[in-house]
Structure 1
Amino acid sequence: MKSCGYSVVVIAVRLLLLLLPVGLVVAEHPPQTNQAPAIQNAAPQLAAPQKLQALVKLHTADELRALLARAEQIASGKDEYNTDEPIALVLHGAEIEIFKRSNYRSNKELVDLAARLDAFNVVDLKVCRRWMGQHDLELGDLPPFLDPVPFGGDEVKRLQGDGYAYF
């Protein structure tokens, strides 16, 4: 029985091969040429580099931590975004308090992350002078890597006008 079943399968395969269109068989084995075959890149193509800015909405330490982590992910190429420039973060609310020198001990991890990302040009952190003035903060109260801008809302609009997209 086994040999009979085997011979039926062999005959069926041979018949199937005979019935295949000639073009299909030829397509499986392209003719030899002197030219090297075109190599397809299996890696996905990244979009053209973009200018990016983070949208700060909640003004909390958790939001800032998440935005900085996402910026770091983008910079490492593990994200759908592609940028050659630092990601702009305009701080214009209560999150600025995190960076006060007097609050460093309680926010050390977050401030150090921001400083490291700024030092490696992953982010460009800006702070709103108007908000600072309304909350009695001086530039000397903050680390020097935070760049002051006159008004955070205007800076966000300026960045948009310069082609910065939100992530």
Structure 2
Amino acid sequence: MRTAFHLTSGDEDHQNTVLTIAENLSKDETIEMDDIAVVAQAEGIDPVTRDGTHSDTVQELLDSGIAFKACSNTLDMMDLDDGDLVEGVETVSSGASELTRLQEDGYAYLRP
């Protein structure tokens, strides 16, 4: 199974909730997970930036095998570039198109 999380909120508690759910899913031994991806866009981009409130958590989750993808439209809008992202975060053309691709590839879509 594969799951994609959509991270769009600037609220730190909500961001923490999304990251915690993704981590818990990756550790749940009652379900066979092949891939987990978190797509960050709009105000949800903060955790995947080097100076983001949850950047340490993002790095830990990346190291555990969870993929993180940043919307390039959001990066442009916020005057950020790849160098501002936590190492290992992939830049995608847009959050919406990436989520569409992931769902077409069989990922379940979650937006906690």
Q: TM-score range by the shorter chain?
A: 0.7 to 0.9
State the secondary structure of the residue aligned to 2:7.
coil
**Alpha-carbon distance between aligned partners in 1 of 2:78 and 2:33, rounded to the nearest angstrom:** 35
1:115 paired to 2:59: yes
TM-score (norm 1): 0.59
Match runs of 1:69-108 below 5 Å = 69-77=20-28, 82-101=31-50, 103-104=51-52, 107=53
How many residues are treated as equivalent by the alignment?
110
Unaligned runs of at least 5 residues, structure 2: none
Amino acid at match of 2:64: F
1:61 paired to 2:9: no
TM-score (norm 2): 0.84
Shift of 1:130: 1.1
**Alpha-carbon distance between aligned partners in 2 of 1:155 and 1:143, rounded to the nearest angstrom:** 19
State the secondary structure of the residue aligned to 2:98.
helix
Aligned Cα root-mean-square deviation (Å): 1.9
Higher RCO, Cα 8 Å, sep 6+ = 2
Amino acid at match of 1:161: E
Which of 1 and 2 has greater Rg?
1
**Alpha-carbon distance between aligned partners in 1 of 2:62 and 2:85, rounded to the nearest angstrom:** 14
